[in-house]
């Protein structure tokens, strides 16, 4: 059974800092990995999708990496802004379902 | 495209009542997923459909839950009878292809069962 863990559970940083969120998974037989953002009381917004054959994906200030063999992914956020404050969820697609981590709650202080 | 549409956005009901949640996937998407999010268990897949056919319902908690997809543009998740422990946010998502397709989520329905 796939298990997904995210570290840290919560993170508070001053505006402008670069930061890294971590995601690990137990079964490396995956199709892809998806990073989402969830604002309080809102739905999930897809940020980046990395296919199992890829090593990284970039979108603006976001960069996600994938090391399938070691079961790890990181989400790098450059020059953080207060508007980045949200919960970030990592989800692993094993072919028939997404398995989610518990998320990292990020607060960026002005 | 308007994205995945869910209704209602909020539902408050009393224990024992029937609840029906609705979802309209993104046009052209072959797959539709129902998820539930709670503080205790996080996000869990309940059931998913491919071309309107239920493929995996192993996440459906019990017989009180049922889901249908009568056509490519509409799905329902029904709880009958509802119980307080069903209180959660229910999300619908859709994608082109589950194998490598990006999943797009609706805004969710917040269900409170009193």
Closest CA to B79 of B33, B108, B46, B56: B46
CA distance A8 to chain B (A): 16
Across B42-50, average pLDDT: 93
* Strand B19-24 with B53-56, pairing: unpaired
Per-residue pLDDT of chain A (110 residues; tens, 9 = 90+): 899 999 999 999 999 999 999 999 999 999 999 999 999 888 899 999 999 999 999 999 999 999 999 999 999 999 999 999 999 999 999 876 789 999 999 999 99
Tell whether the model's pLDDT for residue B99 goes beyond 60. no
d(CA A34, CA A99): 10
Do the chains contact at B108 and A51, CB–CB below 8 Å?
no
d(CA B48, CA A87): 25
Top residue of B6, B42, B55 to mutate, by most chain A CBs within 10 Å, is: B42
- Do residues A50 and A33 make contact, with C-beta atoms less than 8 angstroms apart? yes
Partner A contacted by B1 (CB < 8 A)? no
Tell whether the model's pLDDT for residue B59 goes beyond 70. yes
Tell whether the model's pLDDT for residue B1 goes beyond 80. no
- Do residues A52 and A68 make contact, with C-beta atoms less than 8 angstroms apart? yes
- Do residues A21 and A88 make contact, with C-beta atoms less than 8 angstroms apart? yes
Tell whether the model's pLDDT for residue B97 goes beyond 90. no
Cβ neighbours of residue B25 closer than 8 Å, sequence gap 6 or more: B4, B32, B72, B73, B75, B92, B94
Partner B contacted by A97 (CB < 8 A)? yes
How does residue B98 score in pLDDT terms, banded at 50, 70 and 90? low
Q: Which of B42, B56, B106 sits opposite A97 (nearest CB)?
A: B56
Tell whether the model's pLDDT for residue B100 goes beyond 70. no
Partner A contacted by B99 (CB < 8 A)? yes
d(CA A76, CA B34): 29
pLDDT score, position A48: 95
Q: In what order do the strands lie in the sheet with A62-67?
A: A4-7, A19-25, A72-77, A62-67, A56-59
Top residue of B29, B34, B39, B99 to mutate, by most chain A CBs within 10 Å, is: B99
């Amino acid at each position: 059974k796939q298990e997904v863990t995210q570290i840290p559970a919560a993170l508070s940083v001053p505006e402008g800092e670069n930061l890294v969120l971590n995601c690990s998974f137990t079964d490396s037989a995956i199709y892809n990995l998806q990073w989402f953002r969830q604002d309080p009381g809102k739905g999930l917004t897809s940020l980046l999708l990395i296919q199992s054959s890829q090593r990284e994906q970039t979108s603006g200030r976001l960069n996600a990496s994938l090391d399938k063999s070691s079961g790890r992914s990181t989400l790098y956020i450059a020059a953080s802004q207060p508007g980045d404050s949200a919960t970030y969820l990592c989800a692993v697609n094993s072919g028939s379902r997404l398995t989610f981590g518990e998320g990292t709650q990020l607060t960026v202080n002005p | 495209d308007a994205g995945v549409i869910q209704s209602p956005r909020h539902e408050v009901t009393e224990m024992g009542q029937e609840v029906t949640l609705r979802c309209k996937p993104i046009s052209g998407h072959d797959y539709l997923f129902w998820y539930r999010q709670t503080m205790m268990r996080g996000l869990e897949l309940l059931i998913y459909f491919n071309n309107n056919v239920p493929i995996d319902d192993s996440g459906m908690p019990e017989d009180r839950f049922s889901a249908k997809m009568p056509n490519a543009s509409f799905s329902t998740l029904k709880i009958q009878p509802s119980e307080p422990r069903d209180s959660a946010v229910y999300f619908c998502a859709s994608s082109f292809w589950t194998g490598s397709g990006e999943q797009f989520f609706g805004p969710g329905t917040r269900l409170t069962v009193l």
